[in-house]
Structures are given as structure tokens and as C-alpha cells.
Amino acid sequence: MSDDRTPPRRPQVFRLDEAAITMAPREPVEPDFSLPVPAAKPSRGWGLSLAGLFWSALGGVLSLMAYVGLSQLIGDLFSRAEWLGYVGLAFTAALLVAAIAIVAREVAGMARLTKLDTIRASAEKALAEDDRTLAEAVVRDVLRLSAETPSLARARADLEGHLSGIIDGADLVRLSERTLLAGLDSRARQMVSDAARNVSVVTAVSPRAVVDLAFVLYSAVTLMRRLAQLYGGRPGTLGTLKLVKHVLGHLAITGGMAAGDTLVQQIVGQGLAARLSARLGEGVVNGLLTARLGLAAIAVTRPLPFTALPAPRLADVAGGLLRKAEEEEAAASRRQ
């Protein structure tokens, strides 16, 4: 096999200004479009959006209207009788104190819900990175959240006793979950199960769909609020609205996972809902909906993610709905 390679040439030294040197023409360089092009930073708009400007202006106008109305009312009361003016001032002061207390309570409720999200995000990061310092901060926060739960006093003492003896951050988070949240998870499952059963029974005997819808909404919102209080959230009115939005957003993200639950497969695959009467079928469906909302509320109000303990399933909290409905349907058939 012949070797067609050109033999290497010896290096030569020359000067660029020599006349015998001919420079090769420069080849055009084509741009490489395969390289990533840095995205242009979006230009920042105004600091205040139009919606924010509208609500701020509306709040200012309403505040001025209330001030002018109250000042005119108190002036009229003083013009009629001095004691009426002082009574008006007393009621106005009580109104302001109550308004400030309500606003402070709502702000505190919103802050507690935000704190739950922050603790859960920090716990997930500590588990992923095995960060001991971050895990200890998470455990301290969970201990402060559970300080107002008397039933967890012994669990808090046990956890604080083992806090300095665990080196791994992930193990510390798992230990705090098993120690502090096992009892709360059991109570949360029972709450969801009771709410689903009540909704199923009431909507099965309710004569109107409007009553069914109102009761399902009331039960679901009340359940979310109770679960948040169980895990240390204690939301107010605005906090409850934020919690409902958070739960619905969680359902929108994980809703596809619910179709794979064994209880749903049992109902759909075997056609059990079709064998029930219309009212009992509606009751079962409403109970399952309430249970799904309760499970989503547990996921968004629990301060720690499910790692050491198993996450509750739909069959765990609503498994008795279908069995109870079938028993009632069989009893009704025997009476007929």
C-alpha cells in the first residue's frame, strides 16, 4: 500500500516585507449560526402596572371619601350637641382600631402561608443538596410552627434532643418529618375522609343542584382552612382566598396523576358508578372531588415534602365512599 502523504517541510524563516513573499488571499469567514445567541434582556416597563395604578387610585379616592364623610359627620354632631360629637369620635376610633386589627390579622395570615411555602422549598433544597446548615434552619422553623400544638410537645423535645447528633442534612429533614408530622398527617387524612363522606351523603339526598354546589364549595373551603390551621398556617379571609388559588393551581399541575389512582380506576374500569342510582352516583363523585381538593390542600399546606412518610392517596381517604354507596343501593333494592 503506497503512502501518498506529502513529506513534511522544514521550517523556514522569512520577513513579511520581502518582495518574494506572496500573501494568500483571506478567505471570507461565514458566521456560525449554530452558536447560541444570547437572548436580549426584556426592557423593563413602568414600575407600576395599569391595574396596580387603578387599584391604588381607587383606594386613595375611597380613603378620601371616608375621611371627608367622617369629618363632616363628626362636625355635624358637634354642632348639634357636644356629647354627640364625642360619641362620634369614640365610634370612629373604635372603627379605626378594628380596621387596623383586621388588616394586621390578614397580613399575618398571608405571611404564615408564605412561610409554609418557603420552609417546604428550603426542605426540598436541603434534601437535594444534603445541606446540614439549611436542614437545621428548616427544622427550627418547623419547631416554631408546631410550638402552639400541645400534642407535639414530647415530639418537639425528642427532636431537639437529637438535633445536634445528626450530621447529614437529608436525614435531619426526614427525622423531623417522622417525628413531628406523622400525627398531623393522620389527623389530616381523617379530616379529608370525614369531609368527603359528609359531602357524599348530603349531596346524595339534596333535592337541588344549587344546594349541592353550595355545600361542596363550603365544605371544600372549610376543609382547606382547617388543614392549613392543622399545619400551622391559620389563614384569614384573604389568606383563604390565596390558599384556594394555590390548591387549584396544584390540582391543575398534578390533576393528570389523579387518573391513575386505584380508586378512580376501580370506578371507571368496572363501571361501578353506572350501576348506582343517579343521586348516589352524584354523591360519590362529589365526595371524590372533595377528597381530591383535600389531598391537594395537604400538599400545599404541609411544611415538609413527603419523603420519609408516604403521601396519602385518594383510596386512603375516600375508599369507603363507594362501598357505602353500594350498601345503600343494595338496601334500597331490597326494600323495593
Q: How confident is the model at residue 187 (pLDDT cuts 50, 70, 90)?
A: very high
Residue 260 has what pLDDT?
A: 45
Spatial separation of the C-alpha atoms in residues 194 and 75, rounded to whole Å: 56
What is the C-alpha radius of gyration for the chain, rounded to an integer number of angstroms? 33
* Euclidean distance between CA atoms 292 and 317, whole angstroms: 9
**pLDDT at site 333:** 57
Give yes or no for a contact between 146 and 180, defined as CB atoms under 8 angstroms apart: yes
Q: Which three cell numbers stand for residue 304?
A: 415538609
Q: Are 186 and 307 in contact (CB under 8 A)?
A: no
- CB-CB contact of 187 with 230 (8 Å): yes
pTM tops 0.85:
no
Distance CA 167, CA 173 (A): 11
Do the Cβ atoms of 113 and 228 come closer than 8 Å? yes
Centroid of chain to Cα 197 = 24
What phi-psi label fits residue 126: left (phi over 0), alpha (psi between -120 and 50 degrees) or beta?
alpha
162 three-class SS: helix
Distance of CA 52 to the CA centre of its chain: 24
Rounded Cα gap, residues 197 and 202, in angstroms:
9
Q: How far is Cα 144 from Cα 162, in angstroms, rounded to an integer?
A: 16
Neighbours of 47 (CB within 10 A): 6
The residues near 311 (Cβ < 8 Å, ≥ 6 apart) are 299
Name the amino acid, one letter, at 149. T
The reported pLDDT for the residue numbered 188 is 92
Average pLDDT of the segment spanning 306-322: 79
- Output the pLDDT for position 147: 84
Residue 295 has pLDDT above 70, yes or no: yes
216, 290 contact by CB (below 8 A): yes
Lookup result for grid cell 368496572: 270
What is the sign, positive or negative, of the torsion defined by CA atoms of 143, 146, 147, 150? Answer: negative
Residue ranges of alpha helices (H) inside 206-277 are 209-230, 237-258, 262-270, 272-275
Does 268 score more than 50 pLDDT? no
Give the model's pLDDT for residue 97. 93
Residue 191 and residue 194: Cα distance in Å, rounded? Answer: 5
pLDDT, mean of residues 25-42: 50
Give the per-residue pLDDT at 269. Answer: 46
Q: What are the extents of the domains in the chain? A: 67-334
**Distances from the Cα of 202 to the Cαs of 165, 206, 219, 316, in angstroms?**
52, 6, 11, 21
Dist CA 300 CA 283 (whole Å): 26
What is the chain's mean pLDDT, rounded?
77
Give CA separation, 236 vs 29, 59, 195, 219, 228, in Å.
65, 21, 21, 17, 10
Question: pLDDT > 70: what percent of the chain?
Answer: 72
